[in-house]
Amino acid sequence: IPLLRRALAMSKRPLLLFASPWTAPAWMKSNRDVRGKGTLKGKAGDKYHKTWANYFIKFLDEYAKRNVTFWAVTAQNEPLAGLFTPPQAPTIAFTAAQQRDFIAQDLGPALARSPHRTRLLMLDDQRIHLPHWAKVVLGNATAARYVAGLAVHWYLDAIVPPGCSLEATYKLFPDHFLLYTEACTGFFMFR
């Protein structure tokens, strides 16, 4: 929080912050560990999913008490990486259908009821998952009304041309923006 405050104070224009979760607490996950290939226990609409959605609101509440607000949150950082990550990485695995249902039944309504003006971004994973992921989530009218845009990572961009992923997604869902949210150098060790 002190670093965020310093950055906000130094900026000549407002900074738009977004947050993206890596994992839920161990007691909420199928593998009972913050690390590894676990999912949220149960299914959308149940106590685990509602509680996880409320964690988002509590996070926003606590930062707001310290005068730090978030422009957006993502439903999950790299939800499909949860199926492939090393066992020590903190993550939650979601399929597109699971993320759709979590957004439609739990996270979307929780954000809408909250006092926060925070937007919701979906996917937050590789563009290789587009446009399929968008079709599943945004193809559902209930989920789509809660989602402002799609968060995209760049690591596998060389595999899928932008016309097949980004452009195709934009043509299907022009009212939802596409935003690159994660990239780094040194990801590929051989480069």
Catalytic residue set: 78, 182
Through-space distance between the first and last CA atoms of the chain, rounded to whole angstroms: 35
SS3 state at 179:
strand
Report whether 96 contacts 132 (CB < 8 A): yes
Report whether 66 contacts 122 (CB < 8 A): no
d(CA 63, CA 68): 5
- The arrangement of strands across the sheet holding 119-126 comes to 18-19, 72-74, 119-126, 147-153, 177-182
